[in-house]
Amino acid sequence: MLGHRFPLMPAYAPHDPLHWILLATAAAVFILFGLALQHFFVQARHPSRQLLLSQQLAVVVALTQVLGLAVIHPPSGAHAGVGIAIYTVALSLFLSSIEACRRLPLPRAFVSDPLPAGLVTTGPFAWIRHPFYAAYWLGLLAAPVATASPVLAIPTVIYTVVFVVAARREEALLLASAMGDQYRGYAARTGMFLPGIGRH
């Protein structure tokens, strides 16, 4: 055990190699999410105070998740393994979504000016309309699953509502735009966050 090898390590620190892998995977996922949010997505031309506050809150939530994983030990190796698998799926979905819209970067959440210059319908977007939100949600789901902690599940529940609100808002803007008819046809054949679920 790592705790035996490093007796000065705090009692709450990870002592199992699988726990360290889980923690490192979580940190890598949230770091990549943060870098993409700053450097890939289109920023608001005139960000409101509320928008900036919501973006800062997202950073706090990510840090809370990683710190929570550092001090709350998974009940078993199976829990840690499932958490690692969820983070891996989240990251794969996120990176494949970035690749799909590399030539047409999309705005950040709750950014309505500017609107996307066109629709992305390749990669994960061929099956779901909001793969980025799905990836974020999976990233927030992994920690409570890995630790069986109700406390770490609170941000997951809250952001489930946030992602649904953001997705519906974006869709309303697109349906009211010049791309409305095109988006309506796209929405009729794709799910919102899961394939086949949430078509309209």
**Domain chopping of the chain, boundaries:** 13-189
Rounded CA-CA distance 86/83 in Å is: 5
* pLDDT surpassing 60 at residue 170: yes
Query: If pLDDT is split at 50, 70 and 90, which confidence band does 48 have?
Result: confident
% of the chain with per-residue pLDDT over 70:
92
Residue 91 has φ and ψ, to the nearest 5°, of: -70, -40
pLDDT for the residue numbered 53:
78
Contact 124, 96 (CB under 8 A): yes
Tell me the mean pLDDT in the region 161-167. 90
Tell me the mean pLDDT in the region 93-112. 85
Rounded CA-CA distance 52/55 in Å is: 5
Residue 128 bridge partners (DSSP): 191
Tell me the mean pLDDT in the region 126-151. 95
CATH code of the domain occupying 13-189: 1.20.120.1630
What are the helix (H) ranges across 6-130? Answer: 17-39, 49-71, 77-100
Instruction: Output the six-digit token pair for 131.
Output: 């793969």
Rounded CA-CA distance 185/53 in Å is: 35
Tell me the mean pLDDT in the region 60-80. 91
**Residue 156 one-letter amino acid:** T
Query: If pLDDT is split at 50, 70 and 90, which confidence band does 25 have?
Result: very high
* pLDDT surpassing 90 at residue 150: yes
Give the residue with greater pLDDT, 115 vs 131. 131
* pLDDT surpassing 50 at residue 8: no
pLDDT for the residue numbered 134:
96
pLDDT for the residue numbered 49:
73
Name the region of 14 (left: φ>0; alpha: ψ -120 to 50; beta: rest): beta
pLDDT for the residue numbered 41:
80
